[in-house]
A and B are shown apart, each in its own frame.
Chain A
Amino acid sequence: MRKIGRTTWASILVVVLGLVLFAVGTDGFRAYTAEAARIVKLNDENPDFPKITMQDNEGRTFTLSELSGKYVLMTFIYTSCGTVCPQIEMNMSEVYNRLPQGAIGQDIVFLSISFDTDRDTPEVLEAYRQYFVQDTDNWRLARVPERGELNKLLNAFGVIVIPGSNGDFAHNGAFYLIDRKGRLAEIMNYTKVDQAVAKIERRLAGDKGA
């Protein structure tokens, strides 16, 4: 009888340790992919937008602090991308259209950052803009000319870019909402436009009430 007890205990111990391993390894069964883990972590930590200089589709150089005091809805793209990026930009313009027009420019601006610094010159970005964006004042397309600064930005927000074979890049796509103080407020799923609009509206309304 004691022998049966012992191996049963050993089995129970193994299962319990296994559950602990899985719980720790998936942030409490929340994140089974590194992408989900990245979002859980960033939403917990709210990192600052690094101090970097960007160049937009009209050739203007600017920093995020010029936009501060407003929310910034941001995406990472590159213009030669035929798969995810057009969809991200389409969905972001959908968010733009659904938000109250009074808020745009006042409380929130839009920013698409290209990580393909070499090819996405201001002229290329300007041509790309015309597919998705009419409002040139409140939606900038930008690149980060300085490579070190670009890497700083990508690292801060955990964006992983894998160069592919034909000048393509594979990368993780999302909406990044930067708050009025220049900190990452939230990462949102770029395929869920309704959810993103609702979340932004709630934040804007919350600020008004305060």
Chain B
Amino acid sequence: MNQSFYGLLLFAGLLVPPVARLMESIMIVHMHMQMPLLVISGFLMAHAFQTRFPRFFDKWNEGGLPGILLFSIITVYWMIPRTMDEAITMQSMELFKFVSLPFLAGIPLRDSWKRLGNMGRNVTIGVFTVLFFAAGFIYLNSNEQLCNSYLLIEQITLGWGFLLTAVAMTIYLLYITFVDREAYEGPAS
């Protein structure tokens, strides 16, 4: 319960207009900080929903696949340059961002993650790694300004952000592939 409260607090904090405006004024903060924080706020709040509607999640998200698909679709949607622009220029899109990322990405991620098992988790991370490499190269190599609200230099910064995140995920995937974790961490619980 405590956890959900902190999630709600985080969500409320991100909603405060000056906070939102500040974060949205820098492209990489908008995409790689505000949006993930919104997902995390949903991830934390998920607990309250899971205890209240356990049957719904058990019934419709049994193997975790529907949830992780929903999470992926919502997050990929917000990586399109146009949606970032529209979140700034259109109120309805801004509202949709603040609803969809916590409740349609954060909550399903939390519920699916424990159901997926190792294989499903690694495939998910692998897919996002490939996607982040691709997005990084697109943002770095596009000489056109993709967003009307952000300058080219910010776009390149964002591209590097994508690449670095992808590198980090690659290292993680290599680590779990080649290192016997039980030797360091003890048997997985």
A15 contacts B by Cβ under 8 Å: yes
A15-39: CB near B (< 8 Å → 1, else 0) gives: 1011001100110000111111110
A166 contacts B by Cβ under 8 Å: no
The answer to whether A160 and B151 touch across the interface, beta carbons within 8 angstroms, is no
| B85 in complex: contacting residue of A18, A26, A33, A170, CB < 8 Å | A33
The answer to whether B83 and A25 touch across the interface, beta carbons within 8 angstroms, is yes
User: Which residues in window 49-102 of B have CB below 8 A to A?
Assistant: 59-63, 65-66, 69-70, 73, 77, 80-83, 85-86, 89
| A170 in complex: contacting residue of B65, B73, B151, CB < 8 Å | B151
The answer to whether A7 and B77 touch across the interface, beta carbons within 8 angstroms, is no
The answer to whether A34 and B82 touch across the interface, beta carbons within 8 angstroms, is yes
The answer to whether A11 and B62 touch across the interface, beta carbons within 8 angstroms, is no
The answer to whether A170 and B82 touch across the interface, beta carbons within 8 angstroms, is no
The answer to whether A18 and B73 touch across the interface, beta carbons within 8 angstroms, is yes
A10 contacts B by Cβ under 8 Å: yes
B146 contacts A by Cβ under 8 Å: yes
| Chain B: number of interface residues, binned into ranges | 20 to 34
Kindly count the residue-residue contacts between A and B in the assembled complex, taking CB atoms under 8 Å apart.
Answer: 75
Chain B residues in 8 Å Cβ range of A6: 59-60, 62
In the complex formed, the residue of A with least CB distance to B145 is A170
Chain B residues in 8 Å Cβ range of A35: 145-146, 148
The answer to whether B148 and A34 touch across the interface, beta carbons within 8 angstroms, is yes
B149 contacts A by Cβ under 8 Å: yes
Chain A residues in 8 Å Cβ range of B147: 33-34
The answer to whether B61 and A7 touch across the interface, beta carbons within 8 angstroms, is yes
Chain B residues in 8 Å Cβ range of A14: 66, 69-70, 73
Number of residues in A with C-beta < 8 Å to the partner? 27
The answer to whether B61 and A10 touch across the interface, beta carbons within 8 angstroms, is yes
The answer to whether B82 and A7 touch across the interface, beta carbons within 8 angstroms, is no
| B60 in complex: contacting residue of A10, A32, A172, CB < 8 Å | A10
B146-184: CB near A (< 8 Å → 1, else 0) gives: 111101100000000000000000000000000000000
The answer to whether A11 and B73 touch across the interface, beta carbons within 8 angstroms, is no
The answer to whether A11 and B66 touch across the interface, beta carbons within 8 angstroms, is yes
Chain A residues in 8 Å Cβ range of B82: 25-26, 31-34, 36-37
Chain B residues in 8 Å Cβ range of A32: 80-82
A205 contacts B by Cβ under 8 Å: no
Q: A18-B77, A34-B85, A37-B82 are in contact. List 7 more A-B contacts (CB 8 A).
A: A3-B62, A10-B66, A22-B73, A25-B82, A32-B82, A162-B149, A170-B152
Chosen A-B contacts, 20 in total, with CB atoms closer than 8 Å, are A3-B62, A10-B65, A11-B66, A14-B69, A14-B70, A17-B73, A18-B70, A18-B77, A22-B73, A32-B82, A33-B81, A34-B81, A34-B82, A34-B86, A34-B148, A37-B86, A38-B148, A160-B148, A162-B151, A170-B151
Closest 8 CB pairs of A and B: A34-B85, A18-B73, A10-B66, A160-B148, A14-B69, A33-B81, A11-B66, A14-B70
